[in-house]
Chains A and B, each alone.
Chain A
Amino acid sequence: MLEGKRHIAKYTSRWQLLLVIQGLLYGIGAGVFCWLLSRQLGMSMLVFTLVTGLAMLVLKPWRITTTTVSEYLDHHLRSAEYSTSLLFTETTSLSGLGQLQQHKVSTVLQEQINTIRPKTSVKTAAIVAFMLIGAGYVGSQFIVPPVLDNGDSQKEVIQLQSTDSITPLHAPPVLKQQQLTIQYPSYTKLASRTTSSMNVKAVEGSKLFWSLDFEGFVKEVTLEGLGTGKKFNLKTTNENSLRASSSLIPATSGYYNFNFIDSLAGAYTSDIYAIEVVKDQPPAITIKDIAQFTSFEHTDRKVIDFSALITDDFGIESAQIIATVSKGEGESVKFREEKIAFDAPITKGIKTMTATKSISLDALKMELGDELYFYVETRDQKTPKPNITRSETYFAVIKDTVSDGFGVEGTMGADLMPDYFRSQRQLIIDTEKLIKDRNTLTKQEFTNRSNELGFDQKALRLKYGKFMGDEDDSGIGVAQDIDMSDYDEDDPTAGFRHDHDTENEHNLVEEDHDHEHEEESEGEEEKETSLFEDYLHNHDDPEESTLFTESLRGKLKNAMAQMWDAELHLRLADPDTSLPYQYKALKLIQEIKNSARIYVHRIGFDPPPIKEDKRLSGEIKEITNVFKKEDFDNKDPYVSMRESIEILEKRLQNERELTEEDKTAFAKAGEELAQLAILEPSKHLLTLQKLKWLTEDKKQPKTVIQSVQKGLLEALPRVSETPKNPEGYTSKLESLFTKELQKRD
C-alpha cells in the first residue's frame, strides 16, 4: 500500500511545485516589465519580490497536503471510488473489504494518477508573464527619454588614443574613474547631477565640473574645443594616482575632447564629446475667453473678463496686464498707461498657471469713444536676464454715438471738411421743428427764432465761402469787419471769426496761418499796406486759391446760392419757403463730399509725353560710365570636405599613405563639418570624431577611412546646377560638313 501513498506524496509535491512556478511567473513578468520601462535593476527586483510574495500568499502552495490531494483525487478520479483516504490507514486495521479496496485504489492510482491534472493555472500565468514582457518591450520603444537624461545608467569609459604613430613602450596612464557634475542654475531648482558619460545636455548657464582619476603619472590634461584650451588642475590623491579637475560654463553647444600628456611626453587624445546647451524657453501666454476686438455700447455693462494660461519650463516670476487708455481723436488724443495685476496674486516659481482678470472700463474712467489696449506681460525666473514674453494686444472700445457717419477721413490725409458741414442738416431739423411749433409760439418768438436760424445759415455759408477762398464773393466782410477790440464774450459770431479759435484750424487751409504770421512779423513800417490788406483780405487770385476743381467749385457756389435764398426766407420769417432751398443746399453739399473723395483718387502725377526727337538729346557731360567689379570666387563653403573625399578615395584605392598636406585638409574639413554638426550633432558627431583621428599620426584602418568618407558625403549638400561647357573636339571634316550643310540651306 506504500505504493499508493508514495504516488499521492509525489502528486502533492508536484502540485506545490506548479503553484510556486505559477507565482514565480507572475513575479518574473512584473519584474521584467518594470525593468523594461524603468531600466532600474533595484526597483525591478523589488517589484519581482513583491509580486512573487503576493502571488504566493494568494496561491498558498503550503496548503496543499496529502489530505487535500486525496480529496481532490476522490473528486476527480471516479475509479478511485472516494477511497484514496484508505491508503493512509494501516492495512492491518482495515477490514477485508477495506483491504481489498485499498489494494484496488492503489492499483488505480498507479495507473491513472497522471491523467488528473492538479488545479493550477501555470498556462495562464505564463501567458500573463509573456504579455507583460511584451507590453514592457513595446512600451520601452515609445518612452521618450527625459530631456536632461545624461545616461547615468550606462557607465562610459573615456577611450584614450595615442596620437603618436609608434606605440609607446611604457604603459600608458590608466584612467580609473571619470566624473562629470552638472550644476544647473539655481533658479531651475534642478539638483546637480553626476555622471560618467561625457556627453552633456545642460540648461543655459549650467556649470560643468570634470574630475578624472588617473593611475600613473600624468603631466598635463587639457580640455580642447569649445574655444578653450583649458588646463586641468592636477592633484595627487595617492602615492600613485592623480586627480585632474576643471570646470566650465559653456555658452553655446559644441564639442570637446581631452588631451593627456604622460610623464614621458606621450600624448593621448580622447573621443569627441558633445555639449548641448539647452536654452531656457521664454514663457508662453495663451489668452482665452476674449475676442481681439470688443466694443461696448454706452448702455452695456462695460466689463472685460478673460483668463490667461501662462506656462514656462522652469517657473514664472511675474505676470501683469499693461493697459493703455486713449482718449480723444486725431491730434488731441491722449494716452494713459496702467499696470494692472491679475485678480489673484502670482505664485512665484509655478510652471503652469491660469490667471483671470475682469477689467471694468468704468473703473478706468473711460468715456464714450475712449479705447482700451491691453496685453499681458510675463517674465520667468531666469537669471541674470529673465525671458520676457508679451501676449498679443487686445482692444476694447466704448462706441461714441455722435462721431459716426462721417466718411471723408477715410480717404483723405487731413480732415479738410469742418464740422459745420453737418449743421445744414441740423438747420433743416431746426427749421422743421420751428414750422411744427409755429402754433405754440408767439409771432415775435417765431420771427426771432427764424431770424436766428437765418444767422446760422449765414454763418454756414460764410464757412463754405472760406473753402472757396473768396470771402469777398459773399459780399460780406467776414472776420475783418468786426473790430477785434470790441470783442465780447457773448458775441455769437465769436466762433465764426477769422481767428484761430477753432479746434480744427490746423487741419484747415493754410492761407489763414500765413496771414496771421505776416501780420505779426511785418511790423510798423508795413502797417499801411497791411492795413489795406486787412480790408481787402486779398488772395492773389481767388480762382487759384481754391482747393477744389472747377465743377466742384461750381457746385459749391450753387450750394451757397441756395443758402443765400434759404437765409433770405428765414430772415423773412418764412421757414416754409426756406426749407426747399435748404434741402437743395444739403444735397449739393453731400455731392461735394462725395466728389471730395473722388478728388483724392484723382491725385497723382501724369507726366506729359516726351517728344521722340528730344529723347537722349540732353546734356550728358557730367554723366560718366559706371564700373563695378565683384568676385564670387570660393563661394563653396565645403571646399575642404570635397577635397578630403577625393583624398580618402585615393587612399582607399591605392593604399597610399596620407601626407601632412592631406591632414591639413582633413583638419579644415573638420572645421567645415563642425558648422554642419552644430545643427545636427547626432548625425555628424561620429564622422567628426573619426576625421580627427585621421589628422593624427596613428594609422587608421580602412573601415575608419570608409566611414569618414561616407559621413562626409552624407553631410555635403547637393551641388547646385550651373551652366557647363565641357571640352569638345571638332575635326576639319565636321566643320566642313556643317558649312556645306548651311550652304545648301
Chain B
Amino acid sequence: MIDTIHFLREDLIWPTVIGLVLLWILFLWKEYKAVTITRFIIRGIVALLALSAVASLFLEPVTFQKQVKGVAVLKTANFDSNLIDSLKSTTPALKTITYKENQNLQPQLDSISELHISGDGVAIYDLWQFKNKKVYYHPHKPTSGIIKLAYNTEVLLGDSLTVTGLYKNSFSSNTVLLQESGSRTIDSVKILNQDETVFKLHTLPKAKGNYLYHIIVKDSLGKIISSDPLPLTIKDRGRLRVLMVNTFPTFETKYLKNYLAESGHEVLVRSQITKDRYKFENYNRSQKSIYNFTRQNLSEFDAIITDVSTYNGLSQRSKNAINYRVEEQGMGLLLQADARLIEQGSKFGFRFKRKNITALQLPSWPRVKIPVYPATLTNDALVEPILVTKNGILSAYAQKGTGRIGTLLAEDSFQLLLSGNEDVYHYLWSTALGEISQQPQSLVQWSLSDYMAYIDEPFQFNLRTSIPLPKVVMNNDVVVPLVQNVTLQDEWSGTIYPNGDGWVNLKVAQAPASLKEMYVINDTAWRAKKVYKQITENASFYKNENSLSSESSIPVPFTKWWAFTVFILAMGYLWLAPRIYKS
C-alpha cells in the first residue's frame, strides 16, 4: 500500500523532511526537562504526527488507482456523423467532445483512454494537448482546391517567378490563373478532370516592391471559385564587381564586358598591350588600375574572369592572392574555356572528357546551337554542374574552400549575340557568373515556417545569425522573445502572433538591413491548403504518439481533511495536555 503513495511535489521531499526533523528535535529538546518520560514519549509522538500532517498538506500525497478510462470522440470541423453513430453503437458509453480552437481540453481528456477524432482535425498549435494520448484519427477527405503550394516569396528583379501547386479533386475543367497586382492576368493553367494535378505558373516581375499577386481558380464558365493572395517581395538585383584579365584582347572578352557594363555591373578590364603595359577599362566604377594582385586589391571584386594562359602567366604572389581570396573568402574565378583549359583542367579541379561535338543546345532553347569546345565536363564529387544539356555539362564549378572556380565551355559565345540570340547569351553568362560569384554575406538568414501567416495564430520563424544575442523586433515596436538552439549556437527561433492582416516585418535590432517582410492573411484565404496541412499534421502527429495502457492508473490525491484533522487534534492535545496535568 505504502508504495502506491506518491507525492506530487517530490522535489520538495527532502527539504521538508529536514525541516520536519529539525522542528521535531527543537520540540523534543524543549519538552525533555519539563515532563516525565512517558509523557515525553507521548508528546513526542503527537508532535511528530502534527508535523507530518502539515508536511503532507504541503507535499500533496497521491495514490495511483487503476482505472478503466472511457472512450470519447472529438468532433472537429467537417466531422463525419455516420462514424460517430457507428462508434456509439459499438461503445454505448461514448463521450462526445466538440472541439474549439484554443481551448484547454486536458480535464476532459484525463478520464479518456481512447479518443477518436473525426473531421479536419485540431489546429496545429493545439496538437500538444494530445501528447501521449491514444488517438484514432478519422480525417475528412479534402474536398477540392489547391492543397499544396511552392514558390519563392523573394524574387530578384529579372528572375522569373515560378509558382508550383497541387490541385486536388477538380470536378470540372477549372482554370488556375496567376494575377499580378492591378488585376492583370499573366499566366494560366487548365486543370484537367483528375484526382490530383500539379500545375506551374510563370512570370517575370517588372518592378521591385512588396506585391500581392493572386491565384484565382475559375470554373469552365468563368465563374471565380476562389481567389487567394500570393504575397511577393521583389528585390533589386545587386551589382557584381568583376575583374577581367587577359593577355591579349579577344572578342569574347569584349562582348562579355559590354554586356556586363551595360547591365550596370562594376567591371574592370585589364588587357595587356605589351610587356608591362596594360589597357585598363573601368566601367561603372571609379578609375583604378591593378598590376600585381594582392589580397587587398582583390577584395574589391566578387569574381575574376580570365583564361588559363593568363592565369599561368601571373606571378606566384598574384596567384597566391587569388587562391587566398577564392578559398578563404569565397571569391569566384571564371576561366574562359580554351584548348589549354581542357588540357590543364585538373589543376583547377575539373575533369574533361573529349567528345566529338561542336554545339550543344539548352533545354529552354532547343533550336539555338551553342558552339562549344569538343569536350564536356565530368560530374565529380566536388564539381557542381551549372548548366546541363542533353549531351553533356556546358558549365560547372569546382568548390575550392569557400569559393568557386567555374567555367563555361562555349566557344566564341559572342556569335550568339551576332546571330540575334541575345537571350541565350545573357542566360549563359548570367547563370554561370551568378553561380560562381562571391555572395555578399548577410548577417542574418531567416527561415519562416510558411509562406504566409494567419491572423491570431502562432507563426514560427527561425533565424541564423552570428550576432551573439540578437533582438528581434516585429513592426519596429514589438520585441519577440527568442529561443537559442542548444547545439547550434547561431540558430534561434521565435513565435509571433500577428493580430491584423497585411505586411508584417521582422528585424534584428542589431542589423537594420536584416528586414524580413511577410504577409498575414485572414482565415478565409488558402482554405484548402490550410485544411490539408492540418489534416496531414494531425495524422502524422497521432501516429507518433504512443499511448499509455488503456487501464492506466490515475493519481488520486488524499483528502486533505484527514491531515488537517490530525493536525488540529494533535495541536489540541499538545495545548490541553500541560493544562490538564498541571491542574
Q: Could you tell me the distance between the alpha carbons of A648 and B422 in the complex, rounded to whole angstroms?
A: 32
Contact A721-B439, Cβ < 8 Å, known A623-B273, A627-B287, A726-B238: no
Most buried by B among A642, A650, A727, A733: A727
Q: Which of B36-44, B50-58, B425-433, B570-578 sits within the interface?
A: B425-433
Q: Are B180 and A632 in contact (CB under 8 A)?
A: no
- Which among A630, A652, A713, A732 is the interface contact of B206 at CB below 8 angstroms? A713
Q: Could you tell me the distance between the alpha carbons of A708 and B181 in the complex, rounded to whole angstroms?
A: 11
Residues from chain A with Cβ under 8 Å of B280 in the complex? 625-628
Q: Could you tell me the distance between the alpha carbons of A714 and B207 in the complex, rounded to whole angstroms?
A: 12
- Closest A residue to B428 by CB, please name it: A721
- Which among B182, B205, B426, B488 is the interface contact of A710 at CB below 8 angstroms? B182
Q: Could you tell me the distance between the alpha carbons of A728 and B503 in the complex, rounded to whole angstroms?
A: 23
- Which among A631, A708, A732 is the interface contact of B284 at CB below 8 angstroms? A631
CB distance from B229 to the nearest CB of A (A): 10
Residues from chain B with Cβ under 8 Å of A738 in the complex? 399, 401-402
Q: Which range contains the number of A residues in contact with the other chain?
A: 35 or more
Q: Are A713 and B437 in contact (CB under 8 A)?
A: no
Most buried by A among B184, B280, B427: B184
The yes or no answer to B275 lying at the interface (CB within 8 A) is yes
Q: Are A635 and B264 in contact (CB under 8 A)?
A: yes
- Which among A712, A726, A733, A741 is the interface contact of B156 at CB below 8 angstroms? A726
The yes or no answer to A616 lying at the interface (CB within 8 A) is yes
Q: Are B240 and A725 in contact (CB under 8 A)?
A: yes
Contact A725-B238, Cβ < 8 Å, known A649-B181, A654-B502, A741-B382: yes
CB distance from A74 to the nearest CB of B (A): 59
Residues from chain B with Cβ under 8 Å of A442 in the complex? none
B residues 428-451 in Cβ contact with A at 8 Å: 429-431, 433-434, 437-445
Q: Could you tell me the distance between the alpha carbons of A732 and B441 in the complex, rounded to whole angstroms?
A: 13
- Closest A residue to B432 by CB, please name it: A723
The yes or no answer to A731 lying at the interface (CB within 8 A) is yes
The yes or no answer to B138 lying at the interface (CB within 8 A) is no
Q: Could you tell me the distance between the alpha carbons of A501 and B42 in the complex, rounded to whole angstroms?
A: 167
Q: Could you tell me the distance between the alpha carbons of A624 and B278 in the complex, rounded to whole angstroms?
A: 8
Contact A723-B274, Cβ < 8 Å, known A710-B183, A738-B401: no
- The proximity string for A residues 389-418 relative to B, scoring 1 for CB distances below 8 Å and 0 otherwise, is 000000000000000000000000000000
Q: Could you tell me the distance between the alpha carbons of A633 and B278 in the complex, rounded to whole angstroms?
A: 25
Q: Could you tell me the distance between the alpha carbons of A726 and B435 in the complex, rounded to whole angstroms?
A: 10
Q: Are B277 and A620 in contact (CB under 8 A)?
A: yes
The yes or no answer to B496 lying at the interface (CB within 8 A) is no
Q: Are B277 and A624 in contact (CB under 8 A)?
A: yes
- Which among B183, B433, B440 is the interface contact of A727 at CB below 8 angstroms? B440
Q: Are B208 and A627 in contact (CB under 8 A)?
A: no
Q: Are A627 and B282 in contact (CB under 8 A)?
A: yes
Contact A730-B287, Cβ < 8 Å, known A724-B156, A738-B402: no
- The proximity string for B residues 272-314 relative to A, scoring 1 for CB distances below 8 Å and 0 otherwise, is 0111111111111011010000000000001000000000000
Contact A706-B183, Cβ < 8 Å, known A620-B277, A724-B237: yes
- Which among A624, A727, A742 is the interface contact of B399 at CB below 8 angstroms? A742
Contact A625-B279, Cβ < 8 Å, known A650-B209, A738-B401: yes
B residues 476-521 in Cβ contact with A at 8 Å: 488, 490, 502-503
- Closest A residue to B330 by CB, please name it: A730
Q: Are B433 and A723 in contact (CB under 8 A)?
A: yes
The yes or no answer to B158 lying at the interface (CB within 8 A) is yes
- Closest A residue to B238 by CB, please name it: A725
Q: Could you tell me the distance between the alpha carbons of A630 and B264 in the complex, rounded to whole angstroms?
A: 11
Q: Are A745 and B382 in contact (CB under 8 A)?
A: yes
- The proximity string for B residues 194-209 relative to A, scoring 1 for CB distances below 8 Å and 0 otherwise, is 0000000000111111
Residues from chain B with Cβ under 8 Å of A93 in the complex? none
CB distance from B6 to the nearest CB of A (A): 44
Q: Are A731 and B182 in contact (CB under 8 A)?
A: no
The yes or no answer to B211 lying at the interface (CB within 8 A) is yes
Q: Are B399 and A729 in contact (CB under 8 A)?
A: no
Q: Are A653 and B502 in contact (CB under 8 A)?
A: yes
- Which among B204, B279, B430 is the interface contact of A626 at CB below 8 angstroms? B279
- Which among A624, A718, A725, A730 is the interface contact of B434 at CB below 8 angstroms? A725
- Which among B182, B265, B284, B433 is the interface contact of A706 at CB below 8 angstroms? B182
Q: Could you tell me the distance between the alpha carbons of A738 and B327 in the complex, rounded to whole angstroms?
A: 10
The yes or no answer to A720 lying at the interface (CB within 8 A) is yes
Q: Could you tell me the distance between the alpha carbons of A624 and B280 in the complex, rounded to whole angstroms?
A: 11
- Which among A641, A642, A732 is the interface contact of B490 at CB below 8 angstroms? A732
CB distance from B449 to the nearest CB of A (A): 18
Q: Are B440 and A725 in contact (CB under 8 A)?
A: yes
Q: Could you tell me the distance between the alpha carbons of A87 and B287 in the complex, rounded to whole angstroms?
A: 120
- Which among A645, A649, A720, A730 is the interface contact of B158 at CB below 8 angstroms? A720
CB distance from B8 to the nearest CB of A (A): 43
Q: Could you tell me the distance between the alpha carbons of A626 and B156 in the complex, rounded to whole angstroms?
A: 36
Q: Which of B255-263, B318-326, B528-536, B558-566 sits within the interface?
A: B255-263
The yes or no answer to A709 lying at the interface (CB within 8 A) is yes
- Which among B263, B438, B445 is the interface contact of A720 at CB below 8 angstroms? B263
CB distance from A4 to the nearest CB of B (A): 59
Q: Are A714 and B442 in contact (CB under 8 A)?
A: no
Residues from chain A with Cβ under 8 Å of B381 in the complex? 745
- The proximity string for A residues 639-679 relative to B, scoring 1 for CB distances below 8 Å and 0 otherwise, is 00111011011101110000000000000000000000000
Q: Could you tell me the distance between the alpha carbons of A629 and B209 in the complex, rounded to whole angstroms?
A: 32
- The proximity string for A residues 184-196 relative to B, scoring 1 for CB distances below 8 Å and 0 otherwise, is 0000000000000
Q: Could you tell me the distance between the alpha carbons of A630 and B258 in the complex, rounded to whole angstroms?
A: 11
Contact A716-B275, Cβ < 8 Å, known A709-B181, A726-B238, A728-B439: no
CB distance from B270 to the nearest CB of A (A): 10
Residues from chain A with Cβ under 8 Å of B209 in the complex? 645-646, 649-650
Residues from chain A with Cβ under 8 Å of B431 in the complex? 723
Q: Could you tell me the distance between the alpha carbons of A624 and B276 in the complex, rounded to whole angstroms?
A: 9
Residues from chain B with Cβ under 8 Å of A733 in the complex? 488
- The proximity string for A residues 292-329 relative to B, scoring 1 for CB distances below 8 Å and 0 otherwise, is 00000000000000000000000000000000000000
Contact A713-B274, Cβ < 8 Å, known A635-B264, A729-B442: no
Residues from chain B with Cβ under 8 Å of A646 in the complex? 207-209
Residues from chain A with Cβ under 8 Å of B282 in the complex? 627-630
Residues from chain A with Cβ under 8 Å of B400 in the complex? 742
Q: Are B502 and A725 in contact (CB under 8 A)?
A: no
Q: Could you tell me the distance between the alpha carbons of A629 and B289 in the complex, rounded to whole angstroms?
A: 11
CB distance from A652 to the nearest CB of B (A): 7
Contact A642-B401, Cβ < 8 Å, known A652-B181, A709-B181, A714-B184: no
Contact A722-B207, Cβ < 8 Å, known A630-B283, A710-B182: no
- Closest A residue to B206 by CB, please name it: A716
CB distance from A230 to the nearest CB of B (A): 35
Q: Could you tell me the distance between the alpha carbons of A716 and B206 in the complex, rounded to whole angstroms?
A: 7
Q: Could you tell me the distance between the alpha carbons of A627 and B204 in the complex, rounded to whole angstroms?
A: 38
The yes or no answer to A739 lying at the interface (CB within 8 A) is yes
The yes or no answer to A439 lying at the interface (CB within 8 A) is no
Residues from chain A with Cβ under 8 Å of B423 in the complex? 721
Q: Could you tell me the distance between the alpha carbons of A648 and B284 in the complex, rounded to whole angstroms?
A: 31
- Which among B283, B441, B444 is the interface contact of A632 at CB below 8 angstroms? B283
Q: Using A623-B277, A719-B205, A723-B434 as known contacts, list a sample of 11 further A-B pairs with CB atoms less than 8 Å apart, ordered by residue number in A.
A: A625-B279, A625-B289, A630-B284, A641-B207, A649-B212, A710-B180, A713-B206, A716-B206, A725-B434, A729-B464, A731-B488
Identify the 9 closest CB pairs spanning chains A and B, nearest first.
Answer: A646-B209, A710-B182, A709-B182, A729-B445, A728-B439, A722-B263, A642-B207, A727-B442, A723-B433
Q: List 11 A-B contacts (CB under 8 A).
A: A620-B274, A625-B277, A632-B263, A632-B264, A641-B207, A646-B207, A649-B209, A713-B207, A724-B159, A725-B238, A728-B441
Chain B residues within 8 Å of A, Cβ to Cβ? 156-159, 180-184, 204-212, 235, 237-238, 240, 260-265, 273-284, 286-287, 289, 302, 330, 381-382, 399-402, 422-423, 426-427, 429-431, 433-434, 437-445, 464-466, 488, 490, 502-503
Chain A residues within 8 Å of B, Cβ to Cβ? 616, 618, 620, 623-633, 635, 641-643, 645-646, 648-650, 652-654, 706-714, 716, 718-733, 735, 738-739, 741-742, 745
